[in-house]
Chains A and B, each alone.
Chain A
Amino acid sequence: MSEFLAMGGYAWYVWGSYGVTFAALALEIFLLRKRSREAKA
């Protein structure tokens, strides 16, 4: 498991890419849900 997380020494590059991508998409969905609720109000 720790070997998987280490990504052969490229952990920062690989997980930095995936982490920011996942966070950005989650933020977009959150903001869209919020905007949708406000538009209906």
Chain B
Amino acid sequence: MSATARLFWFASPQTFYPLAGTLARGFGAAAALLAAAGLYVGFLVAPTDAQQGEAYRIIFIHVPAAWMSMFLYLVMAGWAAIGLAFNTRLSAMMASAIAPTGALMTFLALWTGALWGKPTWGTYWVWDARLTSELILLFLYLGFMALQAAIDDPRRADRAGALLAIVGAVNVPIIYYSVQWWNTLHQGASVSLTRAPSMAATMLTGMLLMVFAFWFYCIAASLMRVRCIIRERA
């Protein structure tokens, strides 16, 4: 079977269902192992930060949750767009399956950010560009879920949700670049592809382990949810 034929083969919900189960178990197990390693490095190997003391250890869940909140939205909008363009059922189901996990990651980014902001900035919340745009991201996820839940016909719900998801995608680059475009309390990126990271090597190792743990967890949770959706719509 050619690669394209295999892609179309698994684009059918019925054939994807068992594959999704196998993948969810694999990614879930990998996420647990990576999280154990990441927490070990993050709490027992990485040194105390010279400026922030132990409070900086929130980074090991804050940054992964924040990255996943934005990344999952783009993946969700991408699947929604494919579903809208090609009328493929599984793509729309994937978009619906990602939304609650994306909303959860957004909430966790805001929650851990608030608990990190208090000791470092002196406040749990400010209405600055980074925090406000991330809060809007949470409302976009919740709006997508509420809109889909309000429409009885799943195919119509998919199309309406897809439009909202695609239009809302404009918010993601706004979140990402907010720390450059506006004066904000939030610091700029500590890690980027274009220059060396501005943190100790063990801190970076712990953070990257946790990023992959969160990433694999989100894949596993989304695949578990898409299996539920496939069964419920069958």
Q: Digitize B96-108: 1 where CB-to-A-CB distance is under 8 Å, 0 elsewhere.
A: 0000110010011
Inter-chain CB contacts under 8 Å: number:
68
Taking a contact as CB atoms under 8 Å apart, the answer to whether A21 and B231 are in contact is: no
Question: Which residue in chain B gives the minimum CB-CB distance to A37?
Answer: B228
Complex interface: chain B residues within 8 A of A24 (CB): 104, 107-108
Of the four ranges (under 10, 10 to 19, 20 to 34, 35 or more), the interface on chain A belongs to: 20 to 34
Q: Chain A residues with Cβ under 8 A from B224's Cβ?
A: 32, 36
* B-side interface mostly: helix
Please name the residue on chain A nearest to B55 by beta carbon: A10
B115 touches A39 (CB 8 A): no
Contact with B along A4-34 (1 / 0, CB 8 A): 1001111011101110110011001100100
Q: How far is the CA of A14 from the CA of B119 in the complex (A)?
A: 10
Q: Which residues of A contact B112 (CB under 8 A)?
A: 17, 20-21
Interface flag for B81 (CB, 8 Å)? no
Select A13's contact among B65, B119, B225, beta carbons within 8 Å. Answer: B119
What residues make up the interface of A, taking CB atoms closer than 8 Å to B? 4, 7-10, 12-14, 16-18, 20-21, 24-25, 28-29, 32, 35-36, 39-40
In the A-B complex, list the 9 residue pairs whose CB atoms are closest, starting with the nearest: A39-B231, A8-B54, A10-B55, A17-B112, A7-B54, A8-B53, A13-B115, A32-B224, A39-B228
